[in-house]
């Protein structure tokens, strides 16, 4: 039986990265997200970190360290929307996704490897490229045979990198690390280990389990011993959806009443949603359009297609029908989303072909586009209208 293949994805400096994506001028200057005179630093970019500014630091101290630092007040609605959109990207790879927090996740791709081409590095690079292309944020990915090793690998890959630790390389990768790298080792436990003369993971591994249990307690001592040898039986805990659905949403960098901008983004969301359905080999009939306005009120409209589909054109056409029925008059829009619900496996669905349907049509064209994107990245081929970025 082959070893599990687990990815840990960590969005680098998440809040700061989201702000830099919509304000590119902030990329090269020290910047943090948080309160300007009160509160703490929630996230700092790397130029700010060079000045010693770190997450959790009081904002007043951060400003003393770097008087010229740019301070951005947090926009939690935006951060939540970006996190949801990134989770949708993960779920297009496999349904074995565990969102640990707003900016990190474990993904178990063991059962999806063959379907995705068999190369975990290529899968991870494609994922990183898609997150950057769609959301403008960088992520670091660690790949290993367990959650513990994958998380350590993603830390080693920072910033904006990828690290693969194969099962045969676990000990070589793990043992030189300090004891603080082991899950469950905080300041107090680290101090206890140091008093025992244990500085590295190798030191812990070479200490009898019973000695660790006497010093730290039965449970923690046994856990640290197992982790020091790379043994971690914890599985990725996927969140069970109430109903199988796939969707995409985008928050505009500025509220807009430009119908052309909004309808272009609806097409982009329909394409993302349909491509993710095809990746999971699912089809659906129920299309839901969501629109959030500048005052944060949100409305949704749902329509049902005549037959299940995974084609962008079908999803887009229904989403646009729902949008036109809203009959909006220059309303300022903050976010749009397209979702297909009540999905069923494509192999269990019979699709009745039309008499005038060509032998080769959009289904074959989109399948070919999917293959190109999987091999060369999300920008390799796209509809001409979607070369225009969201405002």
Q: Is 2 exposed, middle or buried, given 0-12, 13-18 or 19+ CB atoms closer than 10 A?
A: exposed
DSSP bridge partners of 302: 288
Determine the Cα–Cα distance for residues 164 and 174; give it in Å rounded to an integer.
13
- Residue 103 annotated in ligand binding: yes
- b/e code 306-333 from CB counts within 10 Å (16+ = b): eebbbbbbbbbbbbbebbeeeebeebeb
- Residue 257 annotated in ligand binding: no
Q: Three-state secondary structure along 300-356?
A: EEEEEEEEEECCHHHHHHHHHHHHHHHCCCCCCEEEEEEEEECCEEHHHCCCCCCCC
How many residues are listed for the chain in this entry? Answer: 391
Determine the Cα–Cα distance for residues 242 and 260; give it in Å rounded to an integer.
34
Contact assessment for residue 331 and residue 355, using Cβ atoms and an 8 Å cutoff: no
CA–CA–CA angle 351, 354, 359 (5° rounding) = 90
Catalytic residue at 98?
no
> Which one of the listed residues 88, 104, 250, 366 is annotated catalytic?
104
Q: What is the DSSP string of 232-273?
A: --PPP-PPPPSS--EEEEEEEEEEE--HHHHHHHHHHHHHHH
- Strand ranges inside 109-149, DSSP E: 139-144
Q: Cα separations (Å) of 20 from 73, 119, 133, 208?
A: 13, 31, 14, 49
Binding residues for Mg(2+) are: 10, 103
Write out the binding residues: 10, 103
**Catalytic residue IDs:** 104
């Amino acid at each position: 039986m082959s070893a599990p293949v687990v990815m840990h994805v960590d969005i680098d400096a998440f809040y700061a990265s989201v702000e830099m994506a919509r304000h590119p001028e902030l990329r090269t200057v020290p910047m943090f997200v948080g309160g300007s005179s009160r509160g703490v630093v929630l996230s700092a970019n790397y130029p700010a970190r060079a000045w010693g500014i770190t997450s959790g630091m009081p904002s007043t101290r951060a400003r003393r360290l770097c008087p010229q630092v740019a301070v951005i007040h947090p926009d939690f609605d935006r951060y939540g929307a970006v996190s949801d959109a990134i989770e949708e990207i993960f779920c297009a790879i496999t349904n074995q996704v565990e969102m640990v927090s707003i900016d990190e996740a474990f993904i178990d791709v063991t059962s999806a490897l063959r379907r995705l081409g068999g190369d975990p590095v290529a899968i991870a690079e494609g994922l990183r490229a898609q997150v950057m292309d769609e959301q403008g944020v960088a992520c670091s990915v660690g790949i290993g045979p367990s959650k513990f090793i994958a998380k350590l690998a993603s830390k080693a890959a920072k910033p904006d990198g990828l690290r693969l630790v194969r099962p045969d390389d676990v000990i070589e990768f793990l043992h030189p690390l300090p004891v603080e790298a082991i899950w469950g080792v905080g300041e107090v436990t680290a101090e206890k280990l140091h008093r025992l003369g244990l500085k590295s993971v190798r030191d812990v591994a070479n200490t009898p389990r019973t000695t660790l249990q006497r010093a730290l307690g039965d449970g923690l001592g046994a856990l640290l011993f197992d982790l020091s040898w790379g043994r971690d039986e914890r599985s990725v805990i996927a969140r069970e959806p109430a109903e199988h659905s796939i969707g995409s949403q985008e928050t505009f960098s500025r509220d807009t009443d430009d119908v052309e901008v909004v309808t272009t983004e609806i097409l982009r969301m329909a394409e993302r949603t349909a491509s993710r359905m095809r990746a999971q080999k699912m089809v659906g009939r129920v299309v839901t359009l969501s629109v959030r306005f500048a005052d944060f009120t949100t409305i949704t409209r749902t329509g049902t297609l005549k037959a299940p589909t995974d084609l962008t054109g079908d999803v887009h056409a229904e989403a646009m029908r729902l949008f036109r029925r809203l009959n909006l008059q220059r309303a300022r829009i903050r976010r749009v989303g397209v979702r297909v619900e009540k999905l069923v496996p494509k192999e269990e669905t019979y699709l009745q072909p039309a008499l005038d349907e060509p032998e080769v049509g959009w289904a074959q064209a989109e399948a070919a586009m999917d293959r190109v994107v999987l091999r060369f990245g999300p920008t390799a081929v796209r509809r001409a209208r979607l070369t225009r970025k969201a405002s």
